[in-house]
């Protein structure tokens, strides 16, 4: 793996860990804690963006094609057998 892939994966993992920590702290009061809601949303957005960036990077490196949308980026990986079907279906569902 090169530095780009390693850094994107680290970003995704860090964001997901932060979401879990923040949610665990306020699970019962999340509906009224807007600061923590914002933290969760921001980290979720960062993780999504890093996932899309990673998909686009791999598509470019492997010359799989030019995705026309975020959804297409994951579809190209699936068609190249670089992404399991279950993961591809879940990721594509976000953009349906």
Higher pLDDT, residue 7 or 90: 7
Residue 76: Cβ within 10 Å count: 21
Look-up of token digits 């579809």: 75
Q: What's the CA gap between 58 and 52, in Å, rounded?
A: 10
User: Which residue range forms the structural domain that includes residue 32?
Assistant: 3-93
pLDDT tens string 24-65: 988 888 999 999 999 999 999 999 999 999 999 999 999 999
What is the count of structural domains for the chain?
1
Contact 5, 54 (CB under 8 A): yes
- Predicted confidence band at 96 (pLDDT cuts at 50, 70, 90)? low
pLDDT at 52: 93
């Amino acid at each position: 793996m090169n530095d780009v892939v390693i850094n994107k994966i680290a970003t995704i993992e860090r964001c997901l860990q932060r979401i879990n920590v923040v949610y665990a702290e306020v699970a019962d009061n999340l509906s009224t804690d807007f600061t923590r809601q914002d933290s969760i949303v921001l980290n979720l957005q960062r993780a999504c963006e890093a996932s899309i960036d990673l998909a686009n990077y791999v598509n470019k490196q492997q010359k799989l094609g030019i995705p026309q949308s975020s959804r297409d980026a994951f579809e190209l990986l699936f068609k190249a057998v670089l992404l399991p079907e279950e993961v591809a279906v879940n990721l594509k569902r976000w953009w349906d």
